[in-house]
Amino acid sequence: MGNIVATDISKEYFNRRYKKREKLDTGSIFGATIPVLEGVDFEIESGEMVCFLGPSGCGKSTLLRIIAGFEEQSSGILTIDDKPVTGASSSNIFVFQHSGLLPWMTVQENVELGLRNMKDLEKKEAEIMDYIEMVELEGFEHHYPYQLSGGMQRRAELARALAVNPEILIMDEPFSGLDFLTHMKMREEVVNMHEFLGKTILIVTHDIDDALSMGDRVIVFSSRPATIKLNQKLDFPHPRYIRQEDSELSVLRDELFLMLGVNYAV
Ligand SMILES: Nc1ncnc2c1ncn2[C@@H]1O[C@H](COP(=O)(O)OP(=O)(O)O)[C@@H](O)[C@H]1O
Ligand SMILES: [Mg+2]
């Protein structure tokens, strides 16, 4: 479960600044439509963790919204487990977003939201604690979000997403705004939980090192309209040392920086 196949997906938006009669003085360099995705093909195996990289504004979030069924592609076919995606009905997809916690509920209650359908109370409570422990928040289950640091909030959000137990977890720049150390810890946390739960996880990130240290596969997009520049499996054990000189990963790291327009990677 959680196998995703995109075949020749394209997406264009209607250009609101385009006026037919005043074509020359609208200041728009585009036509009536703005192409965002163009001929995107990929297959994501069930249980894979895939990181998407690409310049800002190229169409990454658009692609995730199409996969989640929030938006429709202009052409092409997208299937999840061999069924075409039609609308956001898919109950087995969860979109992780920051500030996804309800501020008037404790950590425990927020995580419990994902387990609403569970009848056996004892089992439910145990499961809630499992998820809270998985993100190392034991002792904070009765705290409200405002009582937690930014990093702890993000971990609580992760526990809530896990409790939903989706086949596919979608994360759009999940680490943005975190301090460096918390970012590193969250990376570890996500890798551990992925190894443990084996769900399909899609992560959009602008951080090449996120992709190299976490992904089972990395997909790199061109600038808009996004086409796939690279789709590569990363078959390396964890933890990964991505900056070891001349290692396969560090060579790939340099290539990715170049691909994204940076000549001197640090
Ligand atoms: N609803 C929309 N209507 C019109 N244009 C949009 C809409 N959503 C996104 N875009 C445009 O599509 C392009 C890609 O956006 P997005 O997918 O958010 O990029 P990314 O996530 O890669 O930074 C951007 O130029 C953006 O302005
Ligand atoms: Mg985006």
Tell which of 165, 200, 225 closes a domain.
Answer: 165
Q: What's the average model confidence in pLDDT over 2-16? A: 93
User: In angstroms, rounded to a whole number, what is the distance separating the alpha carbons of residues 112 and 105?
Assistant: 10
Q: Of 140, 165, 190, at which residue does a domain stop? A: 165
Which ligand 1 atom is at minimum distance from the Cα of 204?
21
- Tens of pLDDT, residue by residue over 229-253, are 999 999 999 999 998 888 999 999 9
Q: Are residues 27 and 108 in the same domain?
A: no
Ligand 1 near 154 CB (within 6 A): no
Nearest CA, atom 14, ligand 1: 59
| E runs forming strands in 97-240 | 168-172, 200-204, 217-221, 228-233
13 lines ligand 1 (CB under 6 A): yes
Ligand 1 close to Cβ of residue 224 (< 6 A): yes
Residue of 205, 182, 97 lying closest to 135 (CA atoms):
182
Kindly state if the Cβ of 68 falls inside 6 Å of ligand 1: no
Q: Are residues 22 and 43 in the same domain?
A: yes
Tell me: do 149 and 206 sit in the same domain: no
pLDDT in tens, 40-96: 999 999 999 999 999 999 999 999 999 999 999 999 999 999 999 987 765 688 888
Q: Which domain holds residue 259?
A: 1-92+167-266
Residue-wise pLDDT tens digits, 124-174? 999 999 999 988 899 999 999 999 998 899 999 989 988 888 999 999 999
64-69, long-range: CB within 8 Å, 24+ apart, which pairs? 64/95, 64/170, 64/172, 64/202, 64/204, 66/9, 66/11, 66/37, 67/4, 67/6, 67/93, 67/168, 67/170, 67/202, 68/93, 68/95, 68/170, 69/93
Q: Tell me: do 239 and 226 sit in the same domain.
A: yes
Same domain, 189 and 264: yes
- Tens digits of residue pLDDT in 173-228: 999 888 999 899 899 989 998 998 899 999 999 999 999 999 999 999 999 999 99
Kindly state whether residues 160 and 174 are assigned to the same domain.
no
Do 40 and 19 touch, CB atoms closer than 8 A?
no
- The per-residue pLDDT for 259 is 95
Q: Which of 137, 165, 193 is the last residue of a domain?
A: 165
Residue 144 CB–ligand 1 contact under 6 Å: no
- Domain check: are 84 and 210 in the same one? yes
Number of domains within the chain: 2
pTM of the model: 0.91
Same domain, 49 and 77: yes
Does 136 lie in the same domain as 84? no
Q: DSSP characters for 9-49?
A: EEEEEE-TT--STTGGGS--SS-SEEEEEEEEEEEE-TT-E
Shared domain for 86 and 30, answered yes or no, is yes
Question: Are 6 and 74 within one domain?
Answer: yes
Same domain, 142 and 20: no
CA of 58 to the centre of ligand 1 (A): 7
Q: Of 225, 224, 232, 228, which is closest to residue 253 (Cα–Cα)?
A: 232
Q: What is the pLDDT of residue 10?
A: 97
User: Could you tell me the CATH number of the domain that includes residue 183?
Assistant: 3.40.50.300
**DSSP H helix total and E strand total for the chain:** 7, 10
CA of 111 to the centre of ligand 2 (A): 26
